[in-house]
A and B are shown apart, each in its own frame.
Chain A
């Protein structure tokens, strides 16, 4: 059985390879219009998929997560500041969970 440290180092080497290979191997602008369009949409789809329904499942009370989602979207539409939206979501969860 490998030691904890060896396990950690092996995981590090693996995840570093996953992250760095595309970044270092693809160094020229990609010509294909399809691939360029695809890569443009990747971040939005990924972040949307990771946000919902996870935000509802992350909180102790699901209603708090729902409220954070709705108010978070509203604040982002009004003013898309990272720190502001994030702080508002935290505050909403804290307040809703205090009531329930």
Chain B
């Protein structure tokens, strides 16, 4: 019975991992082109992506390697470029049932990305590790292989296809945030405010210089705190989760 549940959750995760895999392939392919320009071998690109699982973070890493940066600079920039994962990790820490063995936290932690976080955190009830692993099993290899192929093949893939695949991730994000926004006014406000502020940060000259990673952190902290003050969750509802 338990095994069947786990199997179903894993298969479910694999299915939801398909759009992530498509998006990862497109993004990591272009990431590979960037890695190629700083002289990384396909094997090194594969290793970087298999270990780090980060888009902006890896892009920053490759830029630093190209600039022959010192290790402390790599540590600092990696911290800044990936700080949003710290917030996601805090949120995810509340989603494990008390019975979940500890090692799952060590393993799943390595795969906290915008996408895996996005599909798993919005699900009802406790987080099923098998679901998470299912999505990772499908999509994470695409990320690493895509990077290596980008380095090896460069610009062979039609730009038309790359352009179309590049929105796969955003389409998935929409599928995660829009349905709950339809049911819950507070979530709808969060989504609307997120769109609006993010756009404003990109359009207002004084705020334009802030990097996308920092923008995500500032707006996430600011808007989520505002939402928590305006729409505190009902106690009984949160315990039911």
Contacts and interface: CB of A to CB of B under 8 A. Distances in A.
> Chain B CB within 10 Å — which of A2, A16, A30 has the most?
A16
Interface in A1-56: 1-2, 4-12, 14-16, 18-27, 29-30, 33-55
B65 A7 contact: yes
Interface size class of B (residues with CB under 8 A): 35 or more
Contacts of B238: 36, 40
Contacts of A37: 227-228, 231-233
Nearest to B120: A43
Contacts of B61: 7-8, 11
Interface in B81-113: 82-94, 96, 102, 105-106, 108-110, 112
B110 A16 contact: yes
Given A9-B51, A45-B193, 4 more contacts: A5-B44, A45-B224, A59-B166, A85-B175
Nearest to B184: A44
Contact of B105 (A24, A29, A36): A24
A85 to B, nearest CB: 4
Given A34-B229, A42-B87, A97-B164, A73 B75 contact: no
A42 B175 contact: no
Given A24-B106, A72-B174, A82-B176, A60 B163 contact: yes
Nearest to B121: A43
B81 to A, nearest CB: 9
A21 B93 CA distance: 10
B11 to A, nearest CB: 13
B137 interface: no
A90 B22 contact: yes
A90 B197 contact: no
Contact of A76 (B102, B174, B212): B174
B232 A85 contact: no
Contact of B190 (A7, A45, A86, A93): A45
B110 A76 contact: no
A51 B54 CA distance: 16
A90 B90 contact: no
Given A45-B227, A50-B216, A54-B212, A10 B89 contact: no
A46 B223 CA distance: 9
Interface string A68-85: 110011011100111111
Given A12-B51, A20-B110, A86 B171 contact: yes
13 contacts: A15-B57, A19-B86, A20-B89, A20-B109, A23-B93, A36-B238, A48-B195, A49-B216, A65-B167, A72-B170, A83-B18, A83-B19, A94-B161
